[in-house]
Amino acid sequence: MSTLLYRLGKTAFRKPGYFIIGWVLILGVVISMISINGIHISSEMKIEGTESQKVLDQLAKELPAASGGQGSVVFKAPDNERLDTPERLAAMMKAVNEVYGLKDVINPADYAAEASSSGAFADMAQAANMQQSATASPPPYGPLMVDGVPVPGVLLSSDGKVALFQFQFTIEQSAITQDVFDSVIDSVMSAQQGTNITVLPGETLKTVAIGVGSAEIIGLIIAVIVLLITLGSVVAAGLPLVTALLGVAIGVGGAFSISKFIEMPSVTSVLALMVGLAVGIDYALFIVNRQRRMIIDQRLSAQEATARAIGTSGSAVFFAGLTVIIALCGMLVIGLTFLSTMALVAAATVLINVFVALTLLPALLGLVGERICSTKAREKSTKHPKAAGHGIAHRWVKFVIKYRWITIIVIVVLLGAAATPITKMEMGIPGASSANLDTTARQGYDAISEGFGEGFNGPLILVAEPINSSAQVTPELLGNVMKELQSQNNVAQVTPLGMTEDLAIFSLIPGTGPNDKITKDLVNELRSTESSVAKTNDVKIGVTGFTAVNIDMSAKLAQVFPIYVGIITLLSLIILLLVFRSIIVPIKATIGFLLSILATFGITTAVFQWGWLHSLFGFDTGGPLLSFMPIIVTGILYGLAMDYQVFLVSSMRESYVHGHRGPESVVHGYNQVSRVVVAAAVIMVSVFAGFIFTDDVMIKQIGFTLAVGILIDAFIIRMGLVPAIMAIFGDKAWSLPKWLDRILPNLDVEGEKLIATLHAKDHSNSKS
């Protein structure tokens, strides 16, 4: 492996033009494809196989009109005033009629006429009467009345302060363009003119925006500063940034270029950008740092130092990248399309960055040549060679080894305490209820809760089917099911949406909010075949809607999470076994990671769910953690943690292979790479932390968790726990059973065979 990469590095250094032109052509192809196909992203996240998704698929097949996207708008009167004044009623009526006049919005008048003529749905007037009779007591709201006629789709609170306008699109939510949303928003905003009405469009009336903000740019600036300090040269510091940006441009751009043909979740590009930038900069940093060290310490030419750096550090980069890719691709076993897409795009971006580091980077180093190290740096090394035993890193590792058992105990106790909030972790989809107080989404949520009840923020869609396949749905059955539904605990309102011969559709408003545990219990009760609704009417109830999808997503991901962790752990253990030819090292690496990931999720729970330090991180209210965040973060952090494991421990093994024994090999290996590992960790934290201050709470949570995870893993586990444990085991850490030693291939990650071959060649040349 090392020999192959050595030759590749030397070829790229000698003939940089071929490699540079090749990568530029690839980038050109990606840009051309984007210009032809455009960028298409979706906020939809389907959870295949769940009860809620089955109901949605059924509605899309049998009643397409009932499966379209939904929109909502809140009209709010000024303080101590009402909405039902003549001027405000006229303004709201005009706005509502304009929305119903748009081509992609269902007009209830046309809808009812079509339903009546086709006979496909029950008569809405009859259904409304059933609903009134099913309600034990009048609710604290009612339809908005204009000249004695109810306005379709609009409810008015009993105090007249808040009106809720709910409507439906003719197409799926993911297919609605921003132009349609803009038309809706322009129509409803007209109600503000001269009326002092506050109009709050719902959070569903917008498409997903992508882009890089100032916070992310600040993260890159910090990365540049760290590169300058670590490498001591503007040219050397610029190379990792250039290669990382190119790798991300090709990886993320390539995903965008095919987004016309493959549904691309909105989080996908941001995830790939996070991971791609972090690993791209880190991989190039390790190689450039190794090359400069060989030039300064071993007096090698830039060409030979580049080839050897690619042969040695390049091997570590290859296997480190492989662990990240395996961890990401492990998400494929979960069987969720949106997660698989995110995983594949991020994994492809990492793979591209590995290839860029092994091919484009040595080509760029070939262009730079000997200028990669200034004359001042070479002279400084000659006049003031670094003596062994000096420096913060050396003193730290000696301290850790001296107090190894105390170090291990302190770290375990500290991380164990940090992990305790994980026992209270709640999963879900962060939404308007946890949005910042100054956002229209949060203001609309609060206004709805105040005027109608929190359940109106998360209506459920119910489908009732007769258990007997030969039975038909009748208006009588529709009314009986409604009565039974209305009598259930925690049900505020039930409204019929229509029926066919085979099924009846209802909208059910829970008495509690979307993220409340009682709402989850209601969904599970309604789905049960033993529920009073199902048994009394001989029907099967299906439940969907945003709240139900959220519940199903959390349950599905919790079910597959242990399987996912088991698979990536097993595969990564095999890779680490091959790389280090050790049983102890892979097991130690896995235990250290488990400690760090538990502590990471504990801290994330305390911050984003409990609201600790919320003002520091730019949010006002705690809420549930993103349901698919643990799987995404675990995969990424496992891969990145193994990166540091490979770079740090491979240096210790290299010291062992080259004659250092016991704690001496730990100290020597630690001294060689600790500075660059710390720099790499700071860069990763800076890149991830830049995403904490975005407006999107999902991206905010992912960025925070990754930043905290890297901090813990790099600075506590790898810089503290690893040398302490390695010192305890000493040379036994590298032992293998003889039978296993014979079976395993020698990948020569440390470049032992390569260095031996080069030394033999140098010796032969010196004789001749």
Grouping H, G, I as helix, E, B as strand and the rest as coil, residue 433 is helix
Percentage of the chain lying above the pLDDT 90 cut: 25
Would you state the pLDDT for residue 361? Answer: 95
- Whether pLDDT at 64 is above 60: yes
Would you state the pLDDT for residue 470? Answer: 78
- Whether pLDDT at 747 is above 60: yes
Q: CB–CB of 98/187 below 8 Å?
A: yes
Calpha distance 28→36 (Å, rounded) = 12
Least confident of 162-176, 233-247, 248-262: 162-176
Q: Mean pLDDT throughout 446-461?
A: 88
Q: How confident is the model at residue 103 (pLDDT cuts 50, 70, 90)?
A: confident
Calpha distance 405→363 (Å, rounded) = 46
- Whether pLDDT at 692 is above 70: yes
Would you state the pLDDT for residue 21? Answer: 95
Q: Mean pLDDT throughout 252-262?
A: 87
Q: How does DSSP classify residue 719?
A: I
Max mean pLDDT range (57-61, 246-250, 549-553): 246-250
Pairing of strands 625-626, 427-428: parallel
* Biggest alpha carbon–alpha carbon distance for the chain: 108
Q: CB–CB of 693/700 below 8 Å?
A: yes
Separation of first and last alpha carbons in the chain? 29
Least confident of 71-80, 227-236, 446-455, 700-709: 227-236
Q: H helices within 581-628, ranges in order?
A: 584-604
Which two tokens mark 729?
Answer: 């085991």
Calpha distance 563→560 (Å, rounded) = 5
Q: Which residues contact 257 (CB under 8 A, 6 or more apart)?
A: 30, 33, 34, 37
Would you state the pLDDT for residue 130? Answer: 47
Would you state the pLDDT for residue 754? Answer: 67
- Whether pLDDT at 693 is above 70: yes
- Residue by residue, DSSP assigns 458-475 as S-EEEEEEESSTT----H
Max mean pLDDT range (20-24, 53-57, 282-286): 20-24
Calpha distance 220→103 (Å, rounded) = 44
Helix (H) or strand (E) holding 144: strand 141-146
Q: H helices within 15-85, ranges in order?
A: 16-37, 51-62
Q: Mean pLDDT throughout 58-78?
A: 79
Q: Which residues contact 339 (CB under 8 A, 6 or more apart)?
A: 331, 628, 631, 632
- Residue by residue, DSSP assigns 465-525 as EESSTT----HHHHHHHHHHHHTSTTEEEEEEEEE-SS-EEEEEEESS-TT-HHHHHHHHH
- Whether pLDDT at 168 is above 60: yes
Which two tokens mark 339?
Answer: 């997660």
Q: CB–CB of 256/685 below 8 Å?
A: no
Calpha distance 286→264 (Å, rounded) = 33
Would you state the pLDDT for residue 125? Answer: 43
Helix (H) or strand (E) holding 163: strand 162-168
Q: Which of 286, 236, 223 is nearest to 646 (CA)?
A: 286
Q: What is the pLDDT of residues 521-560, one digit of tens each?
A: 999 999 988 888 888 888 899 998 888 888 888 888 888 8
Q: Which residues contact 759 (CB under 8 A, 6 or more apart)?
A: none
Q: How does DSSP classify residue 138?
A: -
Is the alpha carbon torsion for 72, 78, 81, 87 positive or negative?
Answer: negative
Q: Judge if pTM exceeds 0.85.
A: no
- Whether pLDDT at 27 is above 90: yes
Calpha distance 531→541 (Å, rounded) = 9
Q: Which residues contact 323 (CB under 8 A, 6 or more apart)?
A: 572, 575, 576, 638, 639, 642, 643, 646
Give the rounded distance of the alpha carbon of 208 from its chain centre: 15
Q: Which of 591, 616, 613 is nearest to 411 (CA)?
A: 591
Would you state the pLDDT for residue 388? Answer: 42
Q: CB–CB of 681/716 below 8 Å?
A: no
Q: CB–CB of 683/406 below 8 Å?
A: no
Q: Which of 163, 205, 136, 188 is nearest to 450 (CA)?
A: 163
Would you state the pLDDT for residue 261? Answer: 83
Q: CB–CB of 669/719 below 8 Å?
A: no
Q: How confident is the model at residue 759 (pLDDT cuts 50, 70, 90)?
A: low
Give the rounded distance of the alpha carbon of 673 from its chain centre: 30
Percentage of the chain lying above the pLDDT 70 cut: 87
Least confident of 38-52, 278-292, 685-699: 38-52
Would you state the pLDDT for residue 389? Answer: 44
Max mean pLDDT range (362-376, 434-448, 687-701, 717-731): 717-731
Calpha distance 386→392 (Å, rounded) = 13
Is the alpha carbon torsion for 409, 633, 240, 579 positive or negative?
Answer: positive
Q: CB–CB of 42/382 below 8 Å?
A: no
Bigger pLDDT: 630 vs 383:
630
- Whether pLDDT at 213 is above 60: no
- Whether pLDDT at 607 is above 90: yes
Q: Which of 337, 251, 321, 330 is nearest to 284 (CA)?
A: 321
Per-residue 3-state assignment (H helix, E strand, C coil) for 337-363 = HHHHHHHHHHHHHHHHHHHHHHHHHHH
Q: Mean pLDDT throughout 732-738?
A: 83
Least confident of 7-16, 306-315, 706-715: 306-315
Would you state the pLDDT for residue 98? Answer: 93
Would you state the pLDDT for residue 766? Answer: 56
Calpha distance 690→218 (Å, rounded) = 7
Would you state the pLDDT for residue 133? Answer: 46
Cα dist. 643→20, 62, 271, 324, 745 in Å?
26, 50, 18, 8, 21
Q: Which of 665, 659, 658, 685 is nearest to 754 (CA)?
A: 658
Least confident of 245-254, 263-272, 625-634, 751-760: 751-760
Q: How does DSSP classify residue 720?
A: I
Q: Mean pLDDT throughout 670-676?
A: 85
Calpha distance 206→695 (Å, rounded) = 14
Q: How does DSSP classify residue 105?
A: B
Q: Which of 343, 337, 277, 269 is nearest to 40 (CA)?
A: 269
Q: What is the pLDDT of residues 148-162, one digit of tens each?
A: 888 888 889 988 999
Q: Mean pLDDT throughout 693-722?
A: 88
Q: CB–CB of 2/311 below 8 Å?
A: yes
Would you state the pLDDT for residue 756? Answer: 65
Q: How confident is the model at residue 117 (pLDDT cuts 50, 70, 90)?
A: very low
Calpha distance 484→565 (Å, rounded) = 43
Q: H helices within 369-454, ranges in order?
A: 375-383, 392-402, 404-419, 440-451
Mean pLDDT value across the chain: 83
Calpha distance 505→521 (Å, rounded) = 21
Which two tokens mark 268?
Answer: 């996908």
Cα dist. 132→138, 309, 486, 612, 662 in Å?
8, 78, 10, 46, 82
Helix (H) or strand (E) holding 536: helix 532-537
Which two tokens mark 488?
Answer: 């259930």
- Written as one letter, the residue type at 630 is P
Which two tokens mark 7?
Answer: 């030759």
Q: How confident is the model at residue 387 (pLDDT cuts 50, 70, 90)?
A: very low
Would you state the pLDDT for residue 544? Answer: 87
Calpha distance 516→612 (Å, rounded) = 21
